[in-house]
Each structure stands twice: as C-alpha cells, then as structure tokens.
Amino acid sequence: MTAKNRLQDRTIEVMGLRKTYGKHVVLDSVDFSVGRGEIYALLGPNGAGKTTTINILSTLIKPDAGTVSIGGVDVLSRPQEARRMFALTGQYASVDEFQTGAENLAMMARLSHLGTRARRTRVRDLLEAFDLRDAASKRVADYSGGMRRRLDLAISLIAAPPVLFLDEPTTGLDPRSRAGLWSLVAELAANGTTILLTTQYLEEAERLAHRVGVIDGGTIVASGTPAELKAQVSGDHLVFSFATVDDVQRAAALRPNAESDLDELAVRVPTEHAVADIRSFLADTADHGVAVTDIAIAGPSLDDVFLTLTGHEARTGHETSDTDDKEKAA
C-alpha cells in the first residue's frame, strides 16, 4: 500500500482535540489521521499528552473540544459502536495474575461475544502465534515481563479489531522481547491492522512507524515520515576522528561551526558539499600538524529532530526508563 492510498483511507481521524484539567491544558488542538494498515507513532516525553490522547480515542475520557472518528464511527457520540473497532493495550500489562494465559484469553473472548467455536480456535491460535502455548495453563503470576506483554497484545487481538492502540508497548522490556514485539506489530500492520502507538523512544518510532507525530506540551509540533522529519532539521555532518584530546581541540578551533566530542575524540562539522569540505578540512589540519584518523558522514538523527522541535532531549534508550518506572511506582 502506498502512502497516497493510506491518506485517502483514513481509519483514524482526530481533529481539534482539546482537554484541560482546571487551568492545566493537557491537550491543545491535536490533529492527525492514520490510514488503514499504517503505524502512526505519537512520540513525546512524559506529560506531553500521549496517554490522554489514547484515553480519549479509546472512549475512556471525553475531550473538551474536538472530534474523533475511528473506521467512520464518531467515537464521542457512539462510543459503544466505536469499541467494536479498536482494542487498547495500556501502559501496564493489564492481565489477571490469578488466571492462566488461556483463561485470560478465553475471558476476553467471552466479553467480546465470540461464539463458542470461534472462541476456542481463536484462543488456541493466539497462544500459538504469540509463543505462549507451553505456558497456556500456567498462571500469569509466573510469567516473565515479556510473556505478559505478549499475552496483553494477544488479548487485544482476540476479536481481530481493525484498529489497535498501543500505549508505550515496550516500556520495561528487555531488548530481545522488545524486538519480538516490534516484529509482531509490524506484521499486524502488514496484514491490514491500523496501529496508533505512543512512545518515548526515538528508536522505536524510527524502526516501527510509517509516520511519526512529535507531541510536546499538548500539541503536535511536527509530523511526517521519519525521513521527512529528519530532512526538516538540518543536513549531514562530517565526523572526523583523532588520536588525542589535544588534536580534537586544535582541529575544532579551525572551524567556527564545529562541535567537539572529547569522549569520542571526534569533531562534527555541518556540511552541504561533503567532498569539498573534507578536502579543505584535511588540508587545514595537515597545515597545523594534526592527523585525522577516520572520517564519517552522518545524517541527522531523530534525536536532533526532537531537540530542535521541542527544545529538550528525548529519551534515547531503555537504561533511563528503569529508574523512571521505579519513580512512578514509588
């Protein structure tokens, strides 16, 4: 499916969403749309309004203003009908610890009003597909974090909804489980499921999403494909490496727009004509008796995009998330 087709077939359409709690503006005119089979990532820091947006789309809270339509159903005026169109996987794996994986799935199948036969095959197939067959009759209390997340996602798919909301689906997962979940999500979208996910991780947005909406302070400050977003920010950089800190400092002094990185023993210089710039930089360093040990050309990262658009850094790795989660729990 091409990007153009996706735009014509808007499965999720959000316009002018606004939500305030007292004087605190949580969402201030949020607009976006997601096409069928597309993965759209809302990328932003804590408190940007990601979860509030998901909660409004999934009928949990009402906005002060704006419209939401999912699969052509107006969510605000026909919430019960809209609930057949989507499933929500929240921030915390909300599965019952006292039930087994199979029981959790069967319960959700009943609540989704599947017939007896459809329920049995669906439960069995999902356990199989999510690599939970061996753990099917174990209580969830004995599941690992990755298994809980997989069960959580399987539960969301019980009625094969056309739209899936994933609120920070990989927070707290180890890298291997995270990669596994990414490929599952990508496959769902390839099969036609429309996916709206929120994330604080640039890597996740870049790897998974067809389009990204950068959200900050309750507004979408930029949106587009990861490549389009990067193109908005700046061009390429040349990265020159050196053997010593002294060399780095002397080389950086040669260009007013150079950034030195003493940890990496490198100097970054923005460039528009890479070959000419490399040649002149090598000549200048040679004149000053400084030896360049390596050269690389680096495109802008989504990190740069984020920093430029929001004025603060996004989270880049999972190391930081652990302490954050503990703080949340405390």
Asked if 58 and 69 count as a contact pair (C-beta separation under 8 A), the reply is no
Q: Is 22 in the site for another protein (CB under 8 A)?
A: no
Strand 266-271 relative to strand 39-43: parallel, antiparallel, unpaired?
unpaired
Q: Is 302 in the site for another protein (CB under 8 A)?
A: no
Q: Residue 157 Cβ, how far from another protein at the closest point, in Å? A: 7
Residues listed for the chain: 330
d(CA 322, CA 33): 32
Q: Is 278 in the site for another protein (CB under 8 A)?
A: no
Q: Is 84 in the site for another protein (CB under 8 A)?
A: yes
Q: Which is nearer to another protein, 90 or 213 (CB)?
A: 90
For residue 58, give the nearest of 185, 218, 196, 219 by alpha carbon. Answer: 196
Task: Provide CB contacts within 8 A for 222, sequence distance 6+.
Answer: 213, 214, 229, 232, 305, 309
Q: Which is nearer to another protein, 115 or 256 (CB)?
A: 115
The 252-271 site mask, x for binding another protein (CB under 8 A), equals --------------------
Looking at 91, 219, 241, 316, which residue binds another protein (CB under 8 A)? Answer: 91
AA identity, residue 265: L
Q: Which is nearer to another protein, 125 or 284 (CB)?
A: 125
Q: Is 114 in the site for another protein (CB under 8 A)?
A: yes
**Window contacting another protein (CB under 8 A); options: 105-113, 244-252, 254-262, 317-325:** 105-113
Segment 61-80, which members bind another protein (CB under 8 A)? 61, 80
Greatest CA separation found in the chain?
Answer: 81
Q: Is 2 in the site for another protein (CB under 8 A)?
A: no
For residue 315, give the nearest of 50, 19, 8 by alpha carbon. Answer: 50
d(CA 286, CA 290): 6
